[in-house]
Amino acid sequence: MTRSARRTTQVAAVGAAALLALSACSSDDSSSGSGSSAPRSSSSPKLSGTVTVFAAASLKESFTTLGEQFEKEHPGTKVTFSFGGSDSLAASITGGAPADLFAAASPKTMKIVTDAGDTSGAPETFVRNQLEIATLPGNPDKISSLKDLTKSDLKVVLCAEEVPCGSAAQKALAASGLKLTPVSYEQDVKSALTKVELKEADAAVVYKTDVRAAGDKVEGVDFPESADAVNDYPIALLKDAPNAEAAKAFIELVRSDQGQRVLTGAGFLKP
């Protein structure tokens, strides 16, 4: 009898602890999200709180730099990023992920979010990006054109067609009438690049900016067909942004001369 009673209380205690932990989590979320930013922004223009940025994987390096500059200019703010394939980011935003702004690598993936009515205001193009072939350092396979990638003994990775870099690559291939069978369709541009960096693949079709960011781990090869598949990058404030004021300021920074300098320095084209 006493043993079973003790067991009951033990189990109840565990259950209660689990519930407490759950509720602690949720109250934490609300205080760090809207609670910390709302009072400040109404009384003074000073920005604070966390800005959550969902951005295409290709923006990783330049946006991280811009995020650091933003935090320095606005003490008390913190910029957190989620980088990934634009399509999966769009899917998580329409699925209700808490984000302040979305920077996509193609108008098509941005359209998923605008169609769902999740943006506030029209998206604006802030940069453009062009494709490039990433090869192993020193280009041992002597790849000089898009056509060279169709050689059967080469292991080429492309982005999946659902991702902007993948649809751009398909557009360039279609425009030049080439048929390319890759070894893998990767889920975002950085995974495609990584396969070349690790020397698992001989070449990948990625963005110019990714080749530049990878430094000497890969070598870039320009191809003229990439002009047919230049991607516009749109950025938009999200409707349910928990920290809209700071998010607006971040978009201003991205579009400012200072922001454009960082982005073109990373290899992006001006809009």
Closest to other proteins by CB, 157 vs 203, is 157
Q: Least distance to other proteins from the beta carbon of 246, Å?
A: 29
Q: Least distance to other proteins from the beta carbon of 223, Å?
A: 23
Q: Least distance to other proteins from the beta carbon of 19, Å?
A: 8
Q: Least distance to other proteins from the beta carbon of 94, Å?
A: 10
Closest to other proteins by CB, 3 vs 72, is 3
Closest to other proteins by CB, 182 vs 267, is 182
Q: Least distance to other proteins from the beta carbon of 35, Å?
A: 27
Q: Least distance to other proteins from the beta carbon of 150, Å?
A: 16
Closest to other proteins by CB, 143 vs 254, is 143
Closest to other proteins by CB, 44 vs 181, is 181
Nearest to 163 by CA among 196, 124, 195, 190: 190
Sheet holding 231-238, edge to edge: 77-84, 49-56, 101-103, 231-238, 119-129
Which neighbouring-strand residues pair with 186? 159
Closest to other proteins by CB, 61 vs 87, is 87
Closest to other proteins by CB, 219 vs 245, is 219
In whole angstroms, give the CA distance from residue 183 to residue 190: 16
**Where do contacts with other proteins occur on this chain (CB under 8 A)?**
8-9, 11-12, 15, 18-19, 85, 87-88, 90-91, 155, 157, 160, 162-163, 182-187, 195, 198-201
Residue 5, Cβ density class (10 Å: 0-12 exposed, 13-18 middle, ≥19 buried): exposed
Q: Least distance to other proteins from the beta carbon of 160, Å?
A: 6
